[in-house]
Amino acid sequence: MKYFSFLTFNLLLFANGLLLPSNAHADDSNFAAGVAALNADGFDAKEAAIAKLAAIDHPRVIPVLKAMLAGDLSSRKEDDRIVIVADHPEGYRLTDVVSGEELGVAGKRDVSKVRINNSIRGLLRETIASLSLSNPDTKIRLAAAGELLGNLDVESAAEVRRYLDAEQHPRVRVAMQAALALVDLQSEDPHTVIGAVGVLRGNLHPQVRGALTRLGEHDDPEVRRHAAKALSSIQTKLDFYSFIETLFFGLSLGSILVLAAIGLAITFGVMKVINMAHGELIMLGAYTTYAIQQMFPNHIELSLLMAVPAAFVVSGLAGVAIERGVIRFLYGRPLETLLATFGISLILQQLVRTVVSAQNVTVVTPQWLSGSWQINPVLSLTYNRLYILIFALMVFAGLMALLRRTPMGLQMRAVSQNRAMAKAVGIRTEWVDALTFGLGSGIAGIAGVALSQLTNVGPNLGQAYIIDSFMVVVFGGVGNLWGTLVGGLTLGVGNKFLEPMSGAVLAKILWLVFIILFIQKRPRGLFPQKGRAAED
């Protein structure tokens, strides 16, 4: 489908040239009249009206033409006013064409559509494109130039070249040149083709790759050589970006592992307490997010921000309760602690099943977390993973600061290093134990908030993460938060690089086996604690 025909192009150039000097003031009444003419009887009249409207300098011209192209332009029966319609359960939601104001809801029968045919559609596309290419707003020009790629024929290409001559902005120029080069690939002249290949070198657009691949059958060997070279340079770039993408997925998985494990690194690493209910504390955090969303259905955008402290408190209190109620009687008996906390994890799971439901619940993703950041045609990073990666690093940094810089952190480290001495210098070790455990549990809750955005929230959520978390802590080296960070990220990245080769399940099995072997080689993990104290 070609957007431009020779004739309309000249017309438009002419119109734009005329209007350029006076484009400083917008004329609403003139524009309103032009819009009204769009609903003229007969398609010829409509075409004329479109051309006329295109000549008017008004910021709403492009939106209106786009609405017309989409078939959303209608006339309201009661006053023949032209409006833009959008679907609504009770009919249409109306927007004023001129001001963009909401006009309320109308029934489907209260409006009639401005009808268009294929010829008008073509004209609309061309008009929108050329208006966009000459628009003073660089963003609009850039978007329009990007649209050109693969949508030009030889004739319209000549017109684009004129825009190119007038264009100053380098990025818009590059986009236009790429679109033109794609047209030039079909040229008879091998030199033109080779020149175009040179321009397209490194372009990641799939159409470019397709066109270059087709050049592999070109008659001229020189062309074939250049095309092959350009393709391989594109392939190199593709490989690079797919590497970046895998790395990102790996870091994302790693950040989740770190989030899940970091609380455990505190309870297991610092306090030497095995908490098998850690996964369930994560689950509680995820359910807290769900509860917050249920309580404030009108503030979904803010729900996660509210859920973070709430989950910290809920899981943290649960942790303190577990520590005071059970674990403190079992200090120095790690295997018994393991069993007792496993029992607690069963109880918590069943509690959620009984109180909430055995089914998974739906946690809504706020707007700002959905979508993705499109870096180029082949690389896009989803916002939720990106934010969770950043969030994990923030939690880690915060925790480090807490342990290193606050009196509470000092006391925690003191108790973990020498309980008797800490007691002797007046630290209330019982309180420190409870608070440390609460802290680790609270962080598990925060991890649950993040996980609620990535996985299903159900009673078994914690089960899926407990073994992984232990692996991360053990791999990183017990008692070393840095080890947990490095271990988690390493495992995440390693896993994602393995996956394409072996499949997801096998990758997971392989890294479990790897860790099993690794622990046997280095029983104290990546970053072991050293010295005689570590022998005990």
Which stretches of the chain bind other proteins, using CB under 8 A? 274, 326, 329-330, 334-340, 342-347, 349-351, 353-354, 467, 470-471, 474, 505-506, 508-509, 512-513, 515-517, 519-521, 523, 530-532
- Least distance between other proteins and beta carbon 475 (Å): 11
Q: How far apart are CA 143 and CA 140, in angstroms?
A: 5
Residue from 85, 69, 77, 155 nearest 120 by CA = 69
The secondary structure of residue 3, as a DSSP letter, is: -
Alpha-carbon distance 469 to 277, whole Å?
Answer: 12
Give min distance, CB of 470 to other proteins, in A: 5
Please, what is the minimum distance in Å from the beta carbon of residue 535 to other proteins? 8
Report the amino acid identity of residue 359. Q
Supply the minimum distance, in Å, between the C-beta of residue 454 and other proteins.
20
Nearer to other proteins, 386 or 519 (CB): 519
Both ends of the chain: CA-CA distance in Å?
76
Closest approach, Cβ 413 to other proteins, in A, equals 16
Residue number with CB closer to other proteins (34 or 492): 492
**Which one, 232 or 354, has the nearer CB to other proteins?**
354
What's the min distance (Å) between Cβ of 524 and other proteins? 9
Residue whose CB is less far from other proteins, 133 or 340: 340
CA distance 230 to 199: 9
Q: Nearest approach, Cβ of 336 to other proteins (angstroms)? A: 4
Residue whose CB is less far from other proteins, 383 or 482: 482
Please tell me the distance from the alpha carbon of residue 112 to that of residue 75, in angstroms, as a whole number. 5
The token pair that represents 24 in the structure block: 């400083």
> Rounded to the nearest whole angstrom, what is the least distance from the CB of residue 500 to other proteins in the complex?
17
CB closer to other proteins, 111 vs 444? 444
Output the six-digit token pair for 278. Answer: 């850690």
Taking the CA atoms of the chain, what radius of gyration do you get in angstroms?
32
Sign of CA dihedral 315, 320, 324, 326: positive
Cα dihedral angle (168, 173, 174, 179), rounded to 10 degrees? 180
With respect to other proteins, which residue has the nearer C-beta, 277 or 450?
A: 277
Q: How far is CA 85 from CA 33, 89, 204, in A?
A: 19, 13, 37
Beta carbon of residue 442, minimum distance to other proteins (angstroms, whole number):
22
Q: What are the beta bridge partners of residue 431? A: none
- Of residues 208 and 322, the one with the C-beta less far from other proteins: 322
Give the other-Cβ count within 10 Å of 398's Cβ.
12
Minimum separation from the CB atom of position 510 to other proteins (A): 9
Cβ within 8 Å of residue 156, ≥6 positions away? 2, 3, 4, 5, 6, 9, 126
Least Å from the CB of residue 117 to other proteins: 53
Give 327 or 439: the residue with its C-beta nearer to other proteins. 327
Give the Cα separation of 75 and 35 in Å (integer).
Answer: 11
Q: Which is nearer to other proteins, 317 or 326 (CB)?
A: 326
44 close to 116: Cβ distance less than 8 angstroms: no
Residue 322 C-beta: closest distance to other proteins, Å? 10
- The string of DSSP letters for 264-331 reads HIIIIIIT----TTHHHHHHHHHHHHHHHHHH-GGGHHHHHHHHHHHHHHHHHHHHHHHHHHTGGGGT
For other proteins, give the closer residue by CB, 19 or 346: 346
Give the span between the Cα atoms of 459 and 449, in whole angstroms. 15
Q: What strand order describes the sheet that includes 91-96?
A: 102-106, 91-96, 82-88, 73-76, 111-113
* CB atoms closer than 10 angstroms to residue 184: 20
Cα 487 from Cα 396, distance rounded (Å): 13
Closer to other proteins by Cβ: residue 332 or 407:
332
Helices vs. strands in the chain: H and E counts, helices first: 21, 7
CB of 309 to other proteins, least distance (A): 28
Task: Please state, in angstroms and rounded to a whole number, the distance separating the CA atoms of residues 115 and 96.
Answer: 18
Q: Please choose, from the candidates 311, 459, 288, 305, the residue with its C-alpha nearest in 3D space to the C-alpha of residue 363.
A: 288
Cβ distance to other proteins smaller for residue 142 or 348: 348
At closest approach, how far in Å is the CB of 6 from other proteins?
Answer: 58
DSSP 183-206: HHTT-S-HHHHHHHHHHHTT---H
| Closer Cβ to other proteins, 286 or 474, answer by number | 474
